[in-house]
Structure 1
Amino acid sequence: MKLEVLAQAPASSKADLLRFAPRGSRPVADVKPAEFDGLASTSLLHREGARRVLYVGIGASASVTPDLLRRAAGSGAKSLLKIGAEEILVDATGHEAHVGPIVEGIFLAAYKFEAFKAPAARRKTILKSLRVVVAPAHLAAAKKEAEASRHIAEATNIVREIGNLPGNEITPIVLADIAKELARTHHLKYTVWDEKRLEKEGFGGILAVGKGSANPPRLISLEYEGGARKDAPVVIVGKAITFDSGGISIKPSDRMDEMKFDKMGGCAVLGILRAVADLKLPINVVGLITSAENMPGSRAYRPGDIVTTYSGQTIEVLNTDAEGRIVLADALAYAVAKHKPRLLFDLATLTGACVVALGGSRAGLFTSDPALRQALWERSEAAGDPVWPLPMGDEYADQIKSDVALVKNTGGREGGASTAASFLQHWAGETPWVHLDIAGPAWITKELPYLEKGATGFGVRLLVDFLRKKK
């Protein structure tokens, strides 16, 4: 899609015009307030000469936020696409501080997963051009922010496309191939561990979870070097279970099809590394994707097994469906030992307990660093990837103590998201560390203003925004 930021609208253009209308405004004189008055999430389509103009309500001017404009722009774009728009012109004057979210909303709204649809059922038109008009004094800054947001949104959409692919299309080996191609196009260092190398180097957690599947596991590393060689990297670990049946502790059949989305933490890592490379951030970033398929095969790991991880620490398996923390343990331990990161993240669709606690819109945020907690919490709302802090502590660590190993892989129903985070902390150690449980917002089952059903790409925008602004 072509993107331009302009100081004035073109004299003549075929583009449909998108304008934001605050509460109480009357953009069209002959339209009564009862019909349209700028209430958030409402819209008015009007013809002005030969041009279609869509006014999208944004509510009270004092309540306008970056995410509100992202949603307004996205819903406006979706409405225009439904009536055949191929070019959109956005009047962003007065909203120059939020040009980035406006661009993001439209790019995200333009994505549709149609890989397996019959040609006749696919969207008839695609968005070819987006122009954004701002006041001349803001042109340079708006251009820079729009271009950055374009890269972030495109990376998010790629994550959504990979995430939406089913388990028969995406296996750990295929995911490794996708990472390899990303490394080639974006000049990243790529390393992959196959099952033989994983066994040789002692990655017992990943191997245990992947044993039951005909599709062998992989550990994937992508390294971006934007900083000095001596600078310690930020390491981002992602869980990518390409399909999670639950293993021997098999899941109920209801909604098991959604377990193709258990790879979304690892997919987010791909998007983050792509965006970081496109933006040429002056830092070093390492992405580690720990990928397996959790199946109840004849070689599958069992409840009662004791697994020895990369660090030598042991796990008593009580439930094979609590597999994400087991594969993450290996990757976190490797990250600490190999890269000695200045900051360590992990993203994982880890617990249903987090969804019960927070619902489907927010990720659980776990860290023992108050400054990190506050910074991520504050930025998450503007980034459109909202999080909410949840506790860790001795009471949760006590729930996962094992009589026969260091820890057991489940601590029962009470505080399940917090016991899972406390489990991971054993492998993060003293490294500054953030765990994001994205089980709720990683995919959606009903459309949002700028997102269709399916994978959301959650985490890409939040962490890229954080890395862009981290000193």
Structure 2
Amino acid sequence: MPLSLAYAADFPSFADTVFILPAGTTELPINAAADLPEPVRAYVASQLAADEKLISINQYTHHHYYVVAEAKKTADLTAEALRKAGNKLHALLKTDKIPELFINDLTPDGALALAEGIALSAYQFEGYKTDEKSKKTPDLQLITLVGPQLSTEKVQELDGVLQGVYLARDLVNMPYSHLNATQLANRMQAAGDDAGFQTEILDFVRIEALRMGGLLAVNQGSPEPPTFTIMEYKPEGATNEKPYVLVGKGVVFDTGGLSLKPTPNSMDLMKCDMAGAAVVTGVLTALAKNKVKLHVIGLVPATDNRPGGPALAPSDVITMYSGLTVEVMNTDAEGRLILADALAFAKKYNPELVLDYATLTGSAVRAIGTEGIVYMGTAEEQTMLELKQSGNRTHERLVEFPMWDEYDDHIKSSVADLSNMGKAEAGAISAGKFLERFIEGCPWVHFDIAGPAFLTAPDSYRGKGGTGSAVRLTYDFLKRKATV
């Protein structure tokens, strides 16, 4: 069972409780120490005086935990410090085998951030173990938030967002043996049935009829058919006349095709190459569960990239859905080919804004590491700023790369309209410039999530494996669009 959140006006006596104390607290407030014996109060006071930020007290019948909020340069960084404190607290909760935790917030607005950090740390991919001894059921099942500044609606909204992140993480963590293109499409359909959005799955015949040359070309070497999934969330009373369209790369496993990746250093991680599709599914899930009044469409082209049979070969020329021709110089630059078809398809919706998500380039990772997301696009500066602000609020931070006209030269071909490979330099930008050609005339932003989408070592509440990065920032951005 996944962890869930609840709201209560008060907390019961003798409950396992964490108290969030304001920055600079040196003595316990009465309402945080009512059932502590005097020697224990003195101990906690000494720990606070020593500037300890996390204190644990075992009362034998119950536990008290104290988290001291840190005053950072900005409110966004203060909230992030509480998320990270939630990760540290979660380690204690695991050791103490706490099934239900109450959060009593004695600060203006710290409870949601702390709960978010605990809940994201508590995520656990169920996996496929059959040996009961090797299965690990988490003890923590429920977090109840208490505080005058909270409400059932606020807590439920966070719970809905977390469910979107959990789903995205699950999808990224699933191996190709359990998540080919058809299975991914079925998972997205199941998510829609659960959350409340519509799903249409285009099969090979319909993809071929649409002449989606990029998706079909990448799929040529695969024994499995491709899919193209259309998800639509259109609630009554939606505030936008034109939809927001989200596009996610759905390469369920990437061998590199005939431009084969090395192994084990690269290929064994390539189950995560559909993280963009997971982001789109997670965002739509969060929006629908929280009944956000916004019309949003999700598009996911999906296939694996394999070197079998009549696989796409370097120097092949293909015709895309848009009619543009592409010289394929590297079959491992396949993500941009399937995204390009989806972006051209997105134009038919006359969208307000198109956002695409892809684990697209190693260049983005080399530039900024796993600490942030590269983004670029043709949207107005105000939109780019609002996205950056959402990234700061959720700590899924964005770094904007330029899209100067000079970069167009990087993707020129002598025999086709475009090449799918740029120069050795500015690889993330040339990939973005390639995509730009297929979404001309529409405001658009591209997110290269190759760095943070999948982590090979634990990193605080982001954990190890699929992170669901970009779900929370996109939800934050779109939610604000619905309330303008």
Q: TM-score range by the shorter chain?
A: over 0.9
In structure 1, the residue matched to 2:117 is: 105
Residues 1:385 and 2:387 aligned together: no
Aligned to 2:365: 355
2:142 matches 1:132: no
Q: Residue 103 of structure 1 contacts residue 150 of structure 1 at CA under 8 Å; is this kept in 2?
A: no
Structure 2 vs 1, CA of residues 36 and 317 (structure 1 numbering), >3 Å: closer, same or farther? farther
Please, what is the CA RMSD of the aligned residues? 2.2
Letter in 1 for 2:362: G
Give the number of aligned pairs.
462
1:150 matched to 2:159? The reply is: yes
The correspondence of residues 66-465 of structure 1 with structure 2, limited to 5 A, is: 66-96=79-109, 98-117=110-129, 118-135=131-148, 138-140=149-151, 143-226=152-235, 227=237, 231-253=241-263, 254-336=265-347, 338-368=348-378, 369-465=380-476
Partner Cα distance (1:209, 1:309) in 2: 12
More displaced 10-residue stretch of structure 1: 379-388 or 459-468: 379-388
The CA deviation at 1:429 is 0.6
**Matched AA of 1:30:** Y
**Structure 1 contact 85–125 (Cα < 8 Å) conserved:** no
Within 2, Cα distance between the matches of 1:329 and 1:447? 33
Conservation of the 8 A alpha-carbon contact between 1:23 and 1:37: no
Distance in 1 between the 2:155 and 2:191 partners? 23
Q: In the alignment, residue 383 of structure 2 is paired with which amino acid?
A: L
Partner Cα separation in structure 1 for residue 59 and residue 187 of structure 2: 47
Contact 1:100/1:148 (CA < 8 Å) preserved in 2?
A: no
- Aligned-pair CA distance for 1:171: 0.3
Other structure's SS at 2:303 match: strand
Q: 1:168 to 1:377 in 2, by over 3 A?
A: same
Report SS of the residue matched to 1:91: strand
- 2:6 aligned partner: 4
Q: Which amino acid aligns with 1:87?
A: E
Deviations 1:65-96 (A, max 9, x none): 22222222233123212321101111222142
In 2, Cα distance between equivalents of 1:157 and 1:242: 18
Rate the CA distance shift 1:308–1:6 in 2: closer, same or farther, 3 A: same
Deviations 1:153-207, CA, capped at 9 Å, x for gaps? 1110111111101111110000011112122233322211211211111101001
State the Cα distance separating 1:413 from its structure 2 match. 1.8
Is residue 344–residue 431 contact of structure 1 (8 Å, CA) maintained in 2? yes
Write the deviation string for residues 417-462 of structure 1: whole angstroms up to 9, x where unpaired.
1111111100111211110000001011221222321000111111
Check conservation: 2:70, 2:81, Cα contact below 8 A. Answer: no
- Please say which of residues 200-209 and 23-32 is displaced more in the overlay: 23-32
TM-score (norm 1): 0.92
Provide the rounded CA distance (Å) in 2 between the counterparts of 1:242 and 1:211: 14
Query: Are the counterparts in 1 of residues 18 and 67 from structure 2 also a CA contact under 8 Å?
Result: no
Q: Distance in 1 between matches of 2:132 and 2:108?
A: 39
Structure 2 unaligned blocks of 5 or more: 29-40
Residues of 2 paired with 1:230 and 1:92: CA distance? Answer: 36
Q: For residues 35 and 94 of structure 1, do their structure 2 counterparts lie closer, same or farther at Cα, with a shift above 3 Å needed?
A: closer
CA deviation profile, 1:302-355 (whole Å, cap 9, x unmatched): 10011111110111100000000000000000010x211011000000000000
Unaligned stretches of 5+ residues in structure 1: none
For 2:362 and 2:208, the matched residues in 1 are separated by 30
Cα distance in 2 for partners of 1:420, 1:79 equals: 44
| Structure 1 residues 403-426: Cα deviation after superposition (integer angstroms, max 9, x where no partner) | 111110111220011111111100
Indicate the residue corresponding to 1:15 in structure 2: 16
Once the two structures are overlaid, the 10-residue window that deviates more, 177-186 or 114-123, is: 114-123
Distance 1:195 1:229, change over 3 A: farther
Query: For residues 426 and 248 of structure 1, what CA distance do their matches in structure 2 show?
Result: 25
Distance 1:14 1:8 in 2: 11
Amino acid in structure 2 at the alignment position of 1:8 = D
Letter in 2 for 1:358: I
Alpha-carbon separation, structure 2, partners of 1:229 and 1:90: 35
Using structure 2 for the length normalisation, give the TM-score: 0.90
Cα–Cα, structure 1 residues 49 and 420, in superposed 2: closer, same or farther, change >3 Å? same
- The alpha-carbon deviation at position 232 of structure 1 amounts to 1.2
Residues 222-251 of structure 1: per-residue CA shift (max 9 Å, x gap): 011125598211000000110001000011
Q: Is the 8 A contact 2:103 2:146 kept in 1?
A: yes
Equivalent AA in structure 2 for residue 93 of structure 1 = L
Query: Alpha carbons of 1:18 and 1:295: their partners in 2 closer, same or farther (altered >3 Å)?
Result: farther
Letter in 1 for 2:117: G
Identity between Structure 1 and Structure 2 (%): 34
**Partner AA of 1:160 in structure 2:** R
Asked if structure 1 preserves the Cα contact closer than 8 Å seen for 2:20 and 2:107, the reply is no
The separation in 1 between residues aligned to 2:45 and 2:5, in whole angstroms, is 35
SS at 2:177's partner residue?
coil
- Aligned equivalent of 1:25: 26
- Secondary structure at 2:209 match in 1: helix
